[in-house]
Amino acid sequence: MPPESNSAVSKSQNRFAIDWNNLLFQAAMPVLAMLSAFLIGAVVLLLLKVNPLTAYAAIFADVFGSVSGFTQSLVKATPLLLVGLGICIAFRASVINIGAEGQIILGAIGATSWALIFRDWPAWLLLPTTLLASFLAGAVWGFIPGILKARFRVNEILSTVMLNAIAVQLMNMLIRGPLIDQAGVTAGTYLAQSERLPEAAWLPRLLTQSQLNIGSIIAVVLAFLVYLFLWRTTIGFRIRAVGLNPDASRYAGINVAFYQALSLTLAGGLAGLAGAVEVLGIHHRLLDGITSGYGFSGIVAALFGGLHPLGLIPAAWLFGSLLVGADKMQRAVQVPSALIDMLLGLVVLFVVGSSYLSKRWSIQRAIKTAKVEVEAKG
């Protein structure tokens, strides 16, 4: 739920005062949700006769204990941030975008195809246009459920889930067919992956010995831009209005269906960019499993970041760290990284569950403040 509605009462007294109590409460809820998830995870691990302390220590040791672990967490945070930004925009228009997995794939396909077709272009031209191509390809995959919702009232959750499955098959078809690496064909291995992209299309790396690339900076800049877009432009205002109260927006002459479709399209574009970052920044080719499940973990990051573009920056980093830690845990103490998927699911459940409690809490506080005021005026 949008955090500003919770503090609306206190804001009406003094628009510029920061309600520290409320802010603290808002921040505490996700942390509590996270702790509860880890607690339940610990119980499951104990039942499986695995020491939870060893497992959890392995998760955090590497990320907070080594430079490579830290940079790797930033690498994983990048697609989470981009996907999460899209989820935020869509959610603000009260549209739930489950389709990020498919949109990432389309973005990756778009980037790969574009970079291979125009492989002779110089880097200053090829890289930006490739990024644009990935944005557009992802946007198309967001536009489809958007237009289906606007024109035919098709539930966007269901259509995006179906489009995810379709995108996976589309990619499989391409990397086994038209886009297959000819080197694999001549060698007889027929590896299901595209050929290596021209270096001109690679996202420059920021550090040697690390996959950290300029994509991370682009993502952070985009987070600020999305914030400005949602809170400082008319279109952004309308998107939020549609999400807060569709009926009131309709009476005010806002085309609700249009803005919901637009928000899904933008969400798709941002997820598409995440696909480009994976292809152009890390693998330098299109291959199976390119999404690494970011389409789902991006939802968790977005919720955890309070569905706010700037709150998403630390949230994406946190979950990026967890994903890196999960890989390390699997290798170091042989606890399957599926543990993290389970924990992410629990975090989602607890975060959405606690938003009701926090709403009740702020209503009660508002009543109390009002009572005090009435008594003071007495």
Binding positions for other proteins, rule: CB under 8 A: 1, 44, 48, 50, 96, 98, 148, 152-155, 157-159, 161-166, 169-170, 172-173, 176-177, 296, 299-300, 303, 335-336, 338-349, 352-357
In whole angstroms, the minimum distance from the beta carbon of 177 to other proteins comes to 7
In whole angstroms, the minimum distance from the beta carbon of 276 to other proteins comes to 23
- Cβ proximity to other proteins, 149 vs 365, nearer residue: 149
- Cβ proximity to other proteins, 113 vs 159, nearer residue: 159
Residue 211 per-residue DSSP state: -
- Cβ proximity to other proteins, 44 vs 132, nearer residue: 44
Which residues, listed in sequence order, are joined to residue 193 by a DSSP beta bridge? 287
- Cβ proximity to other proteins, 74 vs 324, nearer residue: 324
Helix (H, G, I), strand (E, B) or coil at 102: helix
How far apart CA 10 and CA 17 sit, in angstroms, is 8
In whole angstroms, the minimum distance from the beta carbon of 171 to other proteins comes to 9
In whole angstroms, the minimum distance from the beta carbon of 263 to other proteins comes to 15
In whole angstroms, the minimum distance from the beta carbon of 356 to other proteins comes to 5
How far apart CA 175 and CA 119 sit, in angstroms, is 18
Helix (H, G, I), strand (E, B) or coil at 358: helix
- Cβ proximity to other proteins, 198 vs 293, nearer residue: 293
- Cβ proximity to other proteins, 92 vs 284, nearer residue: 92
What are the tokens at 360? 């009740």
User: Which residues, 6 or more positions from 140, have their beta carbon under 8 angstroms from its beta carbon?
Assistant: 106, 268
C-alpha closest to that of 361 among 11, 19, 22: 22
Contact 16, 9 (CB under 8 A): no
Contact 142, 306 (CB under 8 A): no
In whole angstroms, the minimum distance from the beta carbon of 198 to other proteins comes to 27
How far apart CA 25 and CA 350 sit, in angstroms, is 15
Phi, psi of 284 (to 5 degrees): 60, 20
What are the tokens at 344? 């992410």
- Cβ proximity to other proteins, 276 vs 340, nearer residue: 340
What's the length of the chain? 378
What are the tokens at 85? 């930004």
What are the tokens at 342? 């389970």
In whole angstroms, the minimum distance from the beta carbon of 174 to other proteins comes to 9
Which residue is it, tokens 């967490």?
73
In whole angstroms, the minimum distance from the beta carbon of 302 to other proteins comes to 10
Which residue is it, tokens 């926090």?
358
- Cβ proximity to other proteins, 161 vs 200, nearer residue: 161
